[in-house]
Amino acid sequence: MRRTRATALAALGMAASVVLAGCGGGGSGPAAPAPAPSTQNFDPGTVGKIDEPYNRPQVTDIGDVAVTVDEGFQDYNNNTGAANSLANTYVLPLLQPSPYFVDENLVLRIDRDYMESVTVTSTDPQVIEWKWRPDAVWSDGQPIGCKDMYLLWLAANATAKDGDAQIFDSTPTGYDRVSGISCSPDGKTVTTTFGQPYADYRGLFSVAGQAGSQLLPAHILEQRTGIPDITKIDPKVDNEQLRAAGTFFTTGWNGFDAAVALSGGPYLIESSTRNDTTVLVRNERWWANPGGPARITISAVTDSQANVQKLLNKEAQVIAPQAESAIAEQIRAQGGEFTVFARGGQTYEHIDFQMTNPLFRDNPELRKAVASCVNRQDLVDKLIKSVDPAAVPLGNFVFQPNETGFEDHYAGVGTGDAATAKTLLEGAGWTLGPDGVYAKNGQRASFRLGFKLVDRRAQTAQLVAASCKPAGIEVIADPAEDFNDRRLPAGDFDAALFAWVGSPIKSSLVPNYISKAAGGTANYNNYSNPKFDEVLLASNGEIDFGKRTQLFNDADKIMAEDLHSIPLFQLPDFAAADRTIGPVSYLGFGGGPLWNAFAWQKGQ
Amino acid sequence: MLRFIVRRLLIAIPLLVAASFLCFALTTAMGDPLGDWKLQRPRTEAEIAAAYQRIGYDKPVLERYVNWAGGFVVGDWKTTVTPGNGTVDVREEVTRAVWVTARLVVGAEIVALLLGMMVGVVGAVRQYSRFDYAATGVAFALFAMPLFCLAVLLKFGGIELNNWLEGLGFGRWIVTAGPPAEGFSGGLFERLYAYSGAYILPTLCLVAIQFAVYSRFQRASMLDTLNADYVRTARAKGLSPARVIFRHAYRNALIPVITVFALNLGVVISGAVITETVFGWRGLGQLIVDAILKKEPWLIQGVMMSTAIFIVLFNLIADVLYARLDPRIRYD
């Protein structure tokens, strides 16, 4: 559903509407209804205010549930570069504690099953106080709290190395802005002081965060390494204790070992065969509302058709295969026996122009003409709608249509309007050549569109070429198996068709778009606009949610004016389930099809 | 014979070295194992450099090969290295996968061989009979049918059977994907029920395809021997038909079938890729597909070298079996 700016602002102005994540979003029939908009908070940046809370709902016991996913659980510690994978995040949010919970609108809400509060106590310097519930404990009875948070901060900030590799194999993003962590005597109140303001503090120590943000039982590391108190280790001092902690951190939690892989959530792992089958059962030490399923068996089935057959054969009640047209249509054709959830996910396709190429750098009218002749709706209709009938062209690089804060800045772009494209080119002095392609100053309106050899992208390139040909623009498909590996990072393309993975942690997109001089390590098309850099960098330090949302939208509007990149569409998230169980949906951030498994009920 | 085996094993060493080098070259040409990882989100240069060092890709290609080969011969097959794949011991993973595949294919291959031999012999002895025509027709139909297509048909048949059994109050027996869960406990009947339900479809699938191969080989081979002079002589001597067929014709007709079986077993133990994928068994076939998709260099090397070893080994077994079946063959 496309929402206007006015709608989005109205949504922002609404009082916090509590939409229980577990009680919404279960798609049924051919298409899942769009979720109701939710707001982050009235003003969480204000000292003393807290974010919208979340509690797991009270549900009844529904017995055993079998789920299939495309890849199986592998490692308990998903925080290291070696282990971090999406497959682990299907399982871990059900057993690793997190101060914040991501709901179906990608809103980060304080998880009140874990936290009493998360409060901004000062904005200069930025200080956040995290208060854990006294009854929040790991499955061995030890308290969840400061030590666990300290371990992640230590892992991210340790400077000791083996060769070039950091000994904890962790990334410092965000944590490097935390200058210090202090613990209350009982370890339940944690105070983090930031050296630099960091608006995405909600993503720290959280399942919603990037790699390196899942809390681990630090007391296990202490027991196994003989370190008496992890919070006494200085990340900047390279000593034996730090290295022992690093060794256990990178090896001790690999795979699954019940003795060290504790649960601090509603479920714990009963057994796990790497990348195959993992069985979760209720955590008897869990203090809040228990989950609906008594046992969840999660199997890895890579073949999409095999997933569907498991569903039809009632071997699995919930499946999350690759989002393929044939699969979606096959399940929908079964009538009302199964529900299908399909919704635009966080991964989005786009076409980037290489801004160091004089053809695009010196001719903004050509970029606009291409953006005009591309038919985004046609692409969505032909490539996405068979899976997600509600799909629409992407209208914003920062916010997805189902996210709070979304404004469509590209409504008039990519409409397949060849006439406007020609007018733009002719108005800037381009003349149509005998070959049917415009030219100006010896340059032809012709470029190669590079992409990794994937069916969907080959079809996209074909459709783009076909819709731009009447506009006198020649688009030559330039597929390469190693396009993403080599040519894209090297900027070796005229235009590139590829996808970025979005995130509710918005600071993660900064390096994709900001100029290289300002830190745009993934700005492969070399886009540069000082005004844009200024606005985007300001957003990174703005902890007021409303103001920050506005800054992001301002930044996106600048990109829409520059048209260095054309947003195409979101790739759909997809799940299907037996109608007797629900609500089942899919959340790419934290859980996949299992993100709300604790709330599943029968007879929905 | 012993000298022959030793000689063949010694010849296999340079063969395996050449195979390992070729595999390594292909694995290296496959592309950057960190390519997709680098695109997942922005990475700093230091982060990327550290990742390359961790996976050993900061060293020249030849040095990487020497390091790997040196470890391989002493049992250190290295670990998985690409980000998100953890650090799994390659040798353990390959051993696990071989066991999964072996459980699936060995039984099916033996059943297919026995069935194929039986049908092939009867078809040859009663050439152009109704049975022969029917067996030939079925074999050609199975030859022509893609394995995944047969698998899907079997699965839908299994689902219908389950629906029928459930209607009768027996519960659902057939499992469409995945081997029996590890550590399954229960009584003997419950185990038999669970295991047979999980094995029946992939086994039927493999049997159907391989049976077609073996029955055709056996029939052709048997026809050759039945028309041979020594068989005619045996008949002329007044030996009973059964003695002529089994004592004189069948034993010689086994040679090509056993050869195909030994070579085939080497191939399928190296991974029944389609069967494992369609039926969700995470054996060697699925492992190599996963490893290639993830560009996991040492895992690919481990699987490819295991495959090479199996092929060499089963070739050797086939040669040894020749001598056992045909006394005229001497290797010394």
pLDDT in tens, A417-454: 999 999 999 999 999 999 999 999 999 999 999 998 88
Across the interface, of B35, B47, B159, the residue whose CB is closest to A171 is: B47
Question: For residue A263, what are the contacts with CB-CB under 8 A and spacing of at least 6?
Answer: A95, A96, A138, A139, A269, A283, A285, A286
Q: Could you tell me if A150 and A181 are in contact, meaning their C-beta atoms sit under 8 angstroms apart?
A: yes
Q: Could you tell me if A536 and A199 are in contact, meaning their C-beta atoms sit under 8 angstroms apart?
A: no
pLDDT tens per residue, range A125-140:
999 999 999 999 999 9
Give the per-residue pLDDT at B182: 59
B contacts of A166 (beta carbons < 8 Å): 50
For chains A and B, CB pairs below 8 A equal 150
Segment A51-69 mean pLDDT: 93
CA distance A174 to A182: 17
Q: Could you tell me if A593 and A17 are in contact, meaning their C-beta atoms sit under 8 angstroms apart?
A: no
pLDDT tens per residue, range A90-115:
999 999 999 999 888 788 889 999 99
Is pLDDT at A270 greater than 70 in this prediction? yes
Is pLDDT at A509 greater than 90 in this prediction? no
Tell me what percent of the residues of chain A surpass a pLDDT of 70.
Answer: 91
Is pLDDT at A503 greater than 70 in this prediction? yes
Give the per-residue pLDDT at B6: 87
Give the per-residue pLDDT at A562: 96
Is pLDDT at A15 greater than 50 in this prediction? no
Question: For residue B136, what are the contacts with CB-CB under 8 A and spacing of at least 6?
Answer: B123, B219
A contacts of B156 (beta carbons < 8 Å): 309
Q: Which element (helix H / strand E) includes A524? A: none
Across the interface, of A306, A313, A501, the residue whose CB is closest to B172 is: A313
Q: Which of A158-172, A400-414, B239-253 has the lowest mean pLDDT?
A: A158-172
Segment B105-118 mean pLDDT: 92
pLDDT tens per residue, range A556-599:
999 999 999 999 999 999 999 999 998 999 988 778 999 999 99
A contacts of B290 (beta carbons < 8 Å): 275, 302
Across the interface, of B84, B162, B279, the residue whose CB is closest to A84 is: B84
Across the interface, of A85, A169, A274, the residue whose CB is closest to B88 is: A274
- In angstroms, what separates the C-alpha of B170 from chain A's closest C-alpha? 14
Beta strands in A261-404 (DSSP E): 267-272, 277-282, 293-300, 318-320, 338-353
Mutate to test the interface with A, among B89, B172, B175, B282 (most CBs of A within 10 A): B282
Is pLDDT at A547 greater than 80 in this prediction? yes
For residue B209, name the pLDDT band (cuts at 50, 70, 90): confident
Where do the H-state alpha helices sit in chain B?
A: 2-29, 35-40, 45-55, 61-73, 90-125, 130-144, 147-167, 188-226, 229-236, 241-243, 251-269, 273-279, 284-293, 297-325
A contacts of B81 (beta carbons < 8 Å): 82
CA distances from A325 to A331, A461, A578, B224 (A): 10, 19, 19, 52
A contacts of B183 (beta carbons < 8 Å): 271
> DSSP secondary-structure letter at A362?
S
For residue B316, name the pLDDT band (cuts at 50, 70, 90): confident
- In angstroms, what separates the C-alpha of A523 from chain B's closest C-alpha? 9
Distance of CA A438 to the CA centre of its chain: 40
Is pLDDT at B105 greater than 60 in this prediction? yes
Segment B302-317 mean pLDDT: 90
pLDDT tens per residue, range B263-288:
888 778 776 888 888 888 889 988 99
CA distance B318 to B261: 8
Q: What is the mean pLDDT of chain A?
A: 87
| Whole-complex ipTM | 0.78
Q: Which of A21-35, A365-379, B9-23 has the lowest mean pLDDT?
A: A21-35
Give the per-residue pLDDT at B331: 64
Q: Could you tell me if B279 and B176 are in contact, meaning their C-beta atoms sit under 8 angstroms apart?
A: yes
Is pLDDT at B136 greater than 60 in this prediction? yes
Query: b/e per residue, A566-581, with b = 16+ CB within 10 A?
Result: bbbbbbbbbbbbbbeb
CA distances from B158 to A328, A494, B287, B313 (A): 22, 52, 26, 37
Where do the H-state alpha helices sit in A252-399?
A: 304-312, 325-332, 358-361, 364-373, 376-383
Give the per-residue pLDDT at A275: 82
- In angstroms, what separates the C-alpha of B151 from chain A's closest C-alpha? 10
Q: Could you tell me if A113 and A132 are in contact, meaning their C-beta atoms sit under 8 angstroms apart?
A: no
A contacts of B86 (beta carbons < 8 Å): 74-75, 82-83, 85, 254-255, 274
pLDDT tens per residue, range B160-176:
999 999 999 888 899 99
Residue with tokens 């228990």: A290
Q: Which two tokens stand for residue B330?
A: 């001497």
CA distance A170 to A529: 32
Segment A375-402 mean pLDDT: 93
CA distance A521 to B45: 8
Ranges A53-67, A319-333, A473-487, most confident: A53-67
Is A81 in Cβ contact with B47 (below 8 Å)?
A: yes
Tell me what percent of the residues of chain A surpass a pLDDT of 90.
Answer: 64
Is pLDDT at A26 greater than 70 in this prediction? no
CA distance A424 to A432: 12
Is pLDDT at A13 greater than 90 in this prediction? no
Residue B239 half-sphere exposure, CB side, CA atoms within 13 Å? 16
Q: Kindly tell me the burial class for residue A270, based on how many C-beta atoms sit within 10 Å of its own C-beta (0-12, 13-18, 19 or more).
A: middle
Cis check for the bond before A228: say yes or no (omega within 30 of 0).
no
The packing angle between helices A364-373 and A418-427, to 10°, is 170
Give the per-residue pLDDT at A29: 37
Is pLDDT at B308 greater than 60 in this prediction? yes
Across the interface, of B45, B49, B176, the residue whose CB is closest to A310 is: B176
Q: Could you tell me if A402 and A385 are in contact, meaning their C-beta atoms sit under 8 angstroms apart?
A: no
Q: What SS3 state is found at A191?
A: strand
Is B172 in Cβ contact with A521 (below 8 Å)?
A: no
B contacts of A522 (beta carbons < 8 Å): 39, 41-43
Ranges A74-88, A171-185, A380-394, B4-18, most confident: A380-394
Cα nearest neighbour of B154 on chain A: A309
Mutate to test the interface with A, among B176, B182, B275, B286 (most CBs of A within 10 A): B176
Quick one: CA dihedral B275, B278, B282, B287, positive or negative? positive
Q: What is the mean pLDDT of chain B?
A: 87
Question: For residue A233, what are the contacts with CB-CB under 8 A and spacing of at least 6?
Answer: A154, A227, A241, A242, A245
A contacts of B43 (beta carbons < 8 Å): 521-522
Q: Which two tokens stand for residue A85?
A: 């994978």
Is pLDDT at A264 greater than 60 in this prediction? yes
pLDDT tens per residue, range A211-237:
568 999 999 999 999 999 999 999 999
Give the per-residue pLDDT at A354: 97
